Amino acid sequence: MAEIAVNLRSVRDKILYAATKRESKHRYFEPRLVAVSKLQSTESILSAYEAGQRHFGENYVNELIEKALNPQILEKCKEIQWHFIGNLQRNKINKILNVPNLYIIETVSNDKLADVLNNSWPRFRKSDNSKLNVMVQINTSQEKEKNGCDIIQVLSLVKHVINNCHNLKFMGLMTIGMFGYNIANGPNPDFVCLIKCREKISDELGIDMKNVELSMGMSSDYEHAIELGSTNVRVGTAIFGDRPQKNIL
Ligand X SMILES: *Cc1c(COP(=O)(O)O)cnc(C)c1O
* Interface with ligand X (CB under 6 A): 36, 38, 59, 85, 176, 218-219, 234-238
Rounded least distance, CB 249 to ligand X, Å: 14
Alpha carbon distance 90, 167 (integer Å) = 17
Query: Which residue, 12 or 159, is less far from ligand X as judged by CB?
Result: 12
Rounded least distance, CB 219 to ligand X, Å: 3
Of 106, 215, 211, 117, nearest to 160 by C-alpha is 117
Rounded least distance, CB 130 to ligand X, Å: 25
Query: Which residue, 165 or 238, is less far from ligand X as judged by CB?
Result: 238
Q: If 0-12 CB within 10 Å is exposed, 13-18 middle and 19+ buried, where does residue 208 land?
A: exposed
Query: Which residue, 104 or 218, is less far from ligand X as judged by CB?
Result: 218
Which residues lie below 8 Å from residue 71, measured CB to CB, with a gap of 6+? none
Of 160, 142, 158, nearest to 150 by C-alpha is 142
The 10 Å Cβ neighbour count of residue 11 is: 20
Query: Which residue, 42 or 237, is less far from ligand X as judged by CB?
Result: 237
Query: Which residue, 217 or 229, is less far from ligand X as judged by CB?
Result: 217
Rounded least distance, CB 106 to ligand X, Å: 8
Rounded least distance, CB 165 to ligand X, Å: 22
Handedness of CA 40, 240, 37, 183 (dihedral sign): negative
Alpha carbon distance 83, 59 (integer Å) = 9
Phi, psi values for residue 75, rounded to 5°? -80, -45
Rounded least distance, CB 126 to ligand X, Å: 26
Element (H, E) at 16: helix 2-20
- Residues forming beta bridges with residue 71, ordered by sequence position: none
